[in-house]
């Protein structure tokens, strides 16, 4: 019984909704991103299989390790972020499919697991012995501090609103009986808007692509990565591109286990792509100011509204 239960968990993790599923959709999402960005810039854009081809090609490249770097940390850390995203995606989907089951952890666990991909980027950049990598790492950490405050406020607006339900399945059940969170008053609408800003910041997409900043830091933390390790970082990022919006949708827009989710997800994806292509990159101090003052102020107002019942 216990064994078959464990086997089932591993199936969830590896095939659906974990690794294979998340990776496929994630890579397809990056393809949508690349195609739309190309069209916005009057280019043709890559063929549909390009992201997959990129990963396969990277798997066929040799790994170059920077001389005198911390080899073990440098090689190991990309996989930590990768593993965390797989687990996260599985947790979020299973909460949607079986809201009553308790798989691994609650909302707090999800928020803390979301640290790991960023930690991977930071330690990777720091271990690479490259000054650009180190600069990128420090920017990623600061960016993380910047978006964490408004994001926490926005997420816990929901918890305040639903009276302290902290498991994702519980939040979905609450929404099933009371209607989607976003329809429940001004506080939740504010929280949703703030959460929308969180997505590009977490993903490091423009205008928050401050850590990688291709034109300044030549990909920052990723500068020394190549071959499989770079492929792992790319996969992590594309899986996050799928997982983070799905997480936000589960929090705000009812159960995602419906066809409507595809439309919702595409809308969010389009929003990210649009912002990314129309806004220049912020400096790190500008990002800090934007996320700490106007956006945190807004979400603070939201959570206070929720606390008084609006």
**According to CB under 8 A, which one of 45, 46, 185, 227 is a site residue for another protein?**
227
Instruction: Report the candidate in 221, 213, 233 with the shortest Cα–Cα distance to residue 81.
Output: 233
CA–CA gap between residue 247 and residue 110 (Å, rounded)? 9
Q: Are 142 and 291 in contact (CB under 8 A)?
A: no
Q: How far apart, in Å, do the first and last CA atoms of the chain sit?
A: 46
Q: Are 53 and 93 in contact (CB under 8 A)?
A: no
**According to CB under 8 A, which one of 97, 173, 277, 289 is a site residue for another protein?**
289
Q: Are 95 and 169 in contact (CB under 8 A)?
A: yes
Q: How far is the CB of 241 from another protein (least distance, A)?
A: 18
**According to CB under 8 A, which one of 203, 222, 223, 246 is a site residue for another protein?**
223
Q: How far is the CB of 158 from another protein (least distance, A)?
A: 10
- 162-201 mask for another protein (x: CB under 8 A)? -xxxxx----------------------------------
Residue 295 as a binder of another protein (CB under 8 A): the answer is no
**According to CB under 8 A, which one of 159, 213, 253, 272 is a site residue for another protein?**
159
Nearer to another protein, 83 or 253 (CB): 83
CA–CA gap between residue 56 and residue 52 (Å, rounded)? 6
Q: Are 54 and 35 in contact (CB under 8 A)?
A: no
Element spanning 140, H or E:
helix 131-161
**According to CB under 8 A, which one of 25, 116, 272, 291 is a site residue for another protein?**
116
CA–CA gap between residue 215 and residue 232 (Å, rounded)? 22
- 15-54 mask for another protein (x: CB under 8 A)? ---xx-----------------------------------
Interface region with another protein, contact rule CB under 8 A, candidates 174-182, 221-229, 246-254, 261-269: 221-229
Query: Which residues make Cβ contacts (< 8 Å) with residue 107, sequence separation at least 6?
Result: 155, 159, 166, 167, 168, 171
Q: How far is the CB of 196 from another protein (least distance, A)?
A: 19
Q: Are 263 and 155 in contact (CB under 8 A)?
A: no
By CB under 8 A, what part of segment 56-95 binds another protein?
58-73, 78-80, 82-84, 86-87, 90
**According to CB under 8 A, which one of 39, 49, 98, 102 is a site residue for another protein?**
102
Residue 228 as a binder of another protein (CB under 8 A): the answer is yes
Q: How far is the CB of 114 from another protein (least distance, A)?
A: 11
Nearer to another protein, 44 or 308 (CB): 308
Residue 135 as a binder of another protein (CB under 8 A): the answer is yes
Token pair belonging to 179? 């209607």
Residue 280 DSSP one-character state = P
Element spanning 156, H or E:
helix 131-161
Tell me the site size for another protein, rule CB under 8 A: 90
Residue 257 as a binder of another protein (CB under 8 A): the answer is no
Instruction: Report the candidate in 108, 266, 115 with the shortest Cα–Cα distance to residue 202.
Output: 115
User: What beta strand segments (E) does 139-202 contain?
Assistant: none
**According to CB under 8 A, which one of 16, 52, 115, 257 is a site residue for another protein?**
115
Residue 290 as a binder of another protein (CB under 8 A): the answer is no
Tell me the residue length of the chain.
Answer: 310
């Amino acid at each position: 019984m216990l064994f078959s239960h464990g086997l089932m968990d591993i199936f969830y993790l590896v095939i659906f909704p974990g690794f294979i599923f998340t990776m496929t959709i994630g890579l397809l999402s990056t393809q949508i991103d690349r195609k739309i960005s190309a069209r916005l810039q009057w280019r043709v854009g890559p063929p549909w299989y390009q992201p997959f081809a990129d990963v396969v090609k990277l798997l066929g490249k040799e790994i170059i390790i920077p001389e005198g770097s911390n080899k073990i940390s440098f090689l190991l850390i990309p996989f930590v972020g990768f593993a965390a995203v797989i687990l996260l995606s599985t947790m979020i989907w299973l909460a949607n499919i079986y809201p009553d089951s308790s798989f691994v952890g609650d909302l707090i666990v999800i928020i803390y697991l979301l640290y790991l991909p960023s930690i991977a980027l930071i330690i990777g950049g720091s271990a690479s012995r490259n000054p650009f990598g180190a600069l990128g790492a420090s920017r990623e950490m600061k960016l993380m501090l910047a978006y964490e405050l408004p994001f926490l406020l926005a997420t816990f607006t929901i918890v305040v609103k639903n009276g302290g339900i902290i498991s994702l399945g519980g939040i979905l059940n609450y929404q099933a009986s009371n209607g989607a969170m976003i329809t429940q008053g001004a506080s939740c609408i504010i929280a949703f808007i703030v959460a929308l800003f969180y997505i590009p910041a977490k993903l490091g997409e423009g205008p928050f692509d401050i850590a990688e900043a291709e034109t300044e830091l030549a990909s920052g933390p990723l500068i020394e990565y190549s071959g499989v390790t770079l492929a792992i970082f790319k996969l992590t990022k594309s899986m996050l591109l799928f997982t983070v919006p799905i997480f936000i949708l589960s929090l705000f827009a009812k159960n995602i286990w419906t066809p409507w989710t595809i439309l919702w997800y595409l809308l969010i994806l389009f929003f990210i792509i649009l912002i990314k292509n129309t806004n220049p990159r912020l400096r790190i101090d500008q990002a800090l100011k934007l996320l700490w003052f106007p956006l945190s102020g807004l979400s603070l107002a939201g959570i206070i509204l929720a606390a008084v019942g609006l």
